[in-house]
Amino acid sequence: MLTSVGRGLVSPAPVIHANGVAVRHIDADTPVPAGASLSAHPGEVVLLLGPSGSGKSTFALTLNGLIPHHLDAEVTGDVVIGDAAASASTVAELSSRVALVFQDPDAQIVTARVRDEVAFGPENLRVPLAEIATRVEAALRRLDLWERRDDDPDILSGGGRQRLAIAAALAMGTPAIVLDEPTANLDPAGAAEVFAALRDLASAGDHAIVVIEHDLDELVEVAHRVVVLDATGRTVADGSVDDVLRARAAELDALGVWLPAVTLAALRLQRAGVPIERMPLTAAELRAAVAAAPPIDATADAPSSSAARTPADASRTSPAANAVEVSGLTLRHGRDEVLHDVSLTIAAGEFVAIVGPNGAGKTTLAQAIAGVRRTPRGTVHVRGADVARRRTTRRIGFVFQNPEHQFVAPTVREELAYSLRGRSAAEVAERVDAMLERFDLTAHATRHPFLLSGGQKRRLSVATALIGGADVLVLDEPTYGQDRARADELLRLLGDLHAQGTTVVVVTHDMQVVAEHAERVLVIERGRVIADASPAVLFADEPLVRRARLRVPPLRVAFADLPGQPALSGVMRLADLDAVRGTTVAG
């Protein structure tokens, strides 16, 4: 169905054409998305954006017929793939036209060997073995995995496994590929690998690619077109990166769409009166825009770091006030030594981030501190008491990466009361009510914890940790797999707790979180603490950042050593920009 006129292709027909798609899940009242439209042509990279819950993932599943053919839902609107309506095609037919790559690499790998994995799809389509072999080799070479063809996918890195999923999608031989947040579960280095692979695919120009992604910093340079859904899942923008992301940035921000951090920064500067003509999308663009602006002031009362820093600094001098002391801690998993002679101190009231590559031992260290993992006597002290000597440590709360793992009771109320066993009923009721109120869970008190939304579950797990009287909170990757709105909500909550004096320790891969909230960063590599510094010092040390597989947050890249704008030089927190005043020059 190529409309070719004369000698050249004037406009190839779209591979994917969806118009006014609405999907109602069987147990839902209203359809989400409620009217999504999108088309993708060969050689084109389309970025699909929308606030959380706007139905992006649902929409993606309609594009290759999994909805409604395999999941019960009511679909209206048209989805045309190539030259056939999706509703009239089987999933088998559609799977050779549109391939899907999902968010979680572990939930889409089904075999125990890299090359079997890539062959799995074509085998299902009854492709002859000889052709499968060619396709497998081509796909693996393209994603730079050919050397790993006989490996078990489990030993690949997260980024490697996600590239394997893309190779498996390629081997389906489809003209279109849809990726649903392919980097959401990866550490910075893994995400970078996947972006590089996407860049390669895009530049070859032989596929129509639709990407749903929150992390736009690298993708904006690759994308041709941007489609935006509003909260109900209606397409409200469809155009070039310039027309949509740059021209309507403020509108998208208001919608709740996640924008690049540098764009958010530029919006704040604009609001503060700094003239910015062309909305920047990359660190380099923001840097240029700011350099070109008239001098910028920062108001004197800038809360340059959170107010709670003062008590922490004061207490660091008196060892009795140390929240956590680790000395000479060595831990092993089976035969492998995972932590080697680690010593560190965390002062009361500090906000500390623990960062480092996958497998470095961050979780092990955090669990040891919180008493979740047994430690040798005398190695870990919380508030001066040896963790190994007491069965439970009420002074310190641990929040697991998946909050569901730690819920023990069938209702929210009982969950909170569980930590108060042994106290009078009246006291329990009073404290539980107060906690429910404080964490905005009162309306859900009688629900099963598993039925809460992701953000509510996380709040409940923090509440559970605190209700026992903990004033030290340790969280393992609290923003992992969470959407932006939930992540922001949680971080605000942690900020508040910290301001009220709670000591907070966060294990994270999110460098913007580190830059925004941490007062101190511990970098763990191969079981050792290789750096202990403030975020500003850490991110200035480029070799260290590379060695620990971290990433310098884009704001820091944009504002590092700005000679013309001393007020902004070195800024890396969005919050710091609130203090900025542009010298309002008319025009």
Partner 1 sequence: MAARPSALSTRVLLICAAIGVATGLLGGIAGWITPIVIATAPMLYGLVLGVHVLPGIIAQEVVRLPWVALLAHVLAALVASATSPQWAGRYIGTALLIGGIQEGVAALTRYRSWAPWRFFVSAVIVGAIIAVVVALIVDLGSFAPWVQAAYLTISVLGPVAWTAVGLAVGARLRSAGVAARR
Partner 2 sequence: MTTATPIDASAPTVIRTRLGLDPLTLFAAVIPASIGLVFTRDLVVPLVFLGIGLALALIVSRVSARVLALLVLALPVAIVALALLFALWVDPATVADTRVAVGIAGRDLTVGALTVGAATALRLAAITALLFAAGSAADGPDLVRALVQHLRVPYRVGYAALAALRFVPRFARELDVIRRAHRVRDAAAPGPFTALARGFGYAVPLLAGAIRHAERVALAMDARAFGAHATRTEPRVARWHRLDTAVVAGGWVLTVAVFVVVAAS
Ligand X SMILES: Nc1ncnc2c1ncn2[C@@H]1O[C@H](COP(=O)(O)OP(=O)(O)OP(=O)(O)O)[C@@H](O)[C@H]1O
Q: Which residues bind ligand X (CB under 6 A)?
A: 25, 27-28, 32, 50, 52-58, 333-334, 338, 356, 358-364, 483
Region near partner 1 per CB under 8 A, out of 232-240, 442-450, 523-531, 544-552: 442-450
Judged by CB under 5 A, the residue of 64, 363, 375, 503 near Mg ion is 363
d(CA 49, CA 161): 24
Does position 109 interact with partner 2 (CB under 8 A)? The reply is yes
Does position 372 interact with partner 2 (CB under 8 A)? The reply is yes
d(CA 394, CA 371): 10
Q: How far is the CB of 410 from Mg ion (least distance, A)?
A: 28
Does position 453 interact with partner 1 (CB under 8 A)? The reply is no
Judged by CB under 8 A, the residue of 136, 380, 523, 550 near partner 2 is 136
Answer yes or no: are the C-beta atoms of 37 and 230 closer than 8 Å: no
Does position 90 interact with partner 2 (CB under 8 A)? The reply is yes
Q: How far is the CB of 228 from partner 2 (least distance, A)?
A: 25
Q: How far is the CB of 100 from partner 2 (least distance, A)?
A: 4
Task: Return the number of the residue (56 or 457) whose C-beta is nearest ligand X.
Answer: 56
Q: How far is the CB of 90 from partner 1 (least distance, A)?
A: 5
Answer yes or no: are the C-beta atoms of 286 and 269 closer than 8 Å: no
145 binds, among ligand X, Mg ion, partner 2, none (CB under 5 to 8 A by kind): none
d(CA 379, CA 139): 50
Angle at 537 between CA 534 and CA 541, to 5 degrees: 135
Q: How far is the CB of 485 from ligand X (least distance, A)?
A: 8
Task: Return the number of the residue (372 or 558) whose C-beta is nearest partner 2.
Answer: 372
Does position 70 interact with partner 1 (CB under 8 A)? The reply is yes
Q: Which residues contact 426 (CB under 8 A, 6 or more apart)?
A: none
Judged by CB under 8 A, the residue of 9, 28, 85, 107 near partner 2 is 107
Q: How far is the CB of 323 from Mg ion (least distance, A)?
A: 21
Torsion of CA 567, 570, 572, 576, to 10 degrees: -20
Judged by CB under 8 A, the residue of 1, 2, 10, 26 near partner 1 is 26
Classify residue 436 as exposed, middle or buried by CB count within 10 Å of its CB (0-12, 13-18, 19+): buried
Q: Which residues contact 21 (CB under 8 A, 6 or more apart)?
A: 33, 35, 36, 37, 59, 62, 75, 76, 77, 78, 79
Answer yes or no: are the C-beta atoms of 347 and 384 closer than 8 Å: no
Collapsing DSSP to helix, strand or coil, 156 comes out as coil
d(CA 471, CA 473): 6
CA distances from 96 to 17, 212, 323, 440 (A): 16, 21, 58, 47
Q: How far is the CB of 363 from Mg ion (least distance, A)?
A: 3
Q: How far is the CB of 173 from partner 2 (least distance, A)?
A: 11
Paired with 296 in beta bridges are: 582
Task: Return the number of the residue (2 or 26) whose C-beta is nearest ligand X.
Answer: 26
Residues 390-419 that bind partner 2 (CB under 8 A): 391-393, 398, 400, 402, 404-408, 418-419
Region near partner 1 per CB under 8 A, out of 65-73, 75-83, 484-492, 558-566: 65-73
Region near partner 1 per CB under 8 A, out of 86-94, 153-161, 255-263, 343-351: 86-94
Answer yes or no: are the C-beta atoms of 454 and 422 closer than 8 Å: no
Answer yes or no: are the C-beta atoms of 133 and 94 closer than 8 Å: no
Tokens representing residue 116 in the block: 């079997």
DSSP 276: -
CA distances from 380 to 322, 502, 521 (A): 12, 19, 19
Does position 66 interact with partner 2 (CB under 8 A)? The reply is yes
Nearest to 197 by CA among 141, 281, 121: 141
Does position 57 interact with Mg ion (CB under 5 A)? The reply is yes
Task: Return the number of the residue (203 or 446) whose C-beta is nearest partner 1.
Answer: 446
Task: Return the number of the residue (67 or 255) whose C-beta is nearest partner 1.
Answer: 67
Distance between first and last Cα of the chain: 51
125 binds, among partner 2, Mg ion, ligand X, none (CB under 5 to 8 A by kind): partner 2
362 binds, among partner 1, ligand X, partner 2, none (CB under 5 to 8 A by kind): ligand X
Q: How far is the CB of 131 from partner 2 (least distance, A)?
A: 9
Region near Mg ion per CB under 5 A, out of 42-50, 75-83, 358-366, 565-573: 358-366
Nearest to 46 by CA among 176, 221, 225, 174: 225
CA distances from 256 to 220, 249, 250, 482 (A): 18, 11, 10, 15
Nearest to 298 by CA among 282, 274, 276, 279: 274
Task: Return the number of the residue (162 or 363) whose C-beta is nearest Mg ion.
Answer: 363
Does position 130 interact with partner 2 (CB under 8 A)? The reply is yes
Region near Mg ion per CB under 5 A, out of 16-24, 55-63, 267-275, 432-440: 55-63
Does position 152 interact with partner 1 (CB under 8 A)? The reply is no
Secondary structure of 175-214 as H, E, C letters: CEEEEECCCCCCCHHHHHHHHHHHHHHHHHCCCEEEEECC
Strands 8-11 and 336-347: unpaired
Paired with 354 in beta bridges are: 507, 522
Q: Pattern of binders to partner 1 over 390-419, x per CB under 8 A?
A: --------------------x---------
Tell me which residues touch partner 2 (CB under 8 A). 61, 64, 66, 70-71, 90-92, 95-96, 99-100, 102, 104, 106-113, 115-116, 119-130, 132-133, 136-137, 149-150, 152, 154, 168, 172, 367, 370-373, 391-393, 398, 400, 402, 404-408, 418-419, 421, 450, 464
Tell me which residues touch partner 1 (CB under 8 A). 26-27, 65, 69-70, 72, 88, 90-92, 410, 448-451
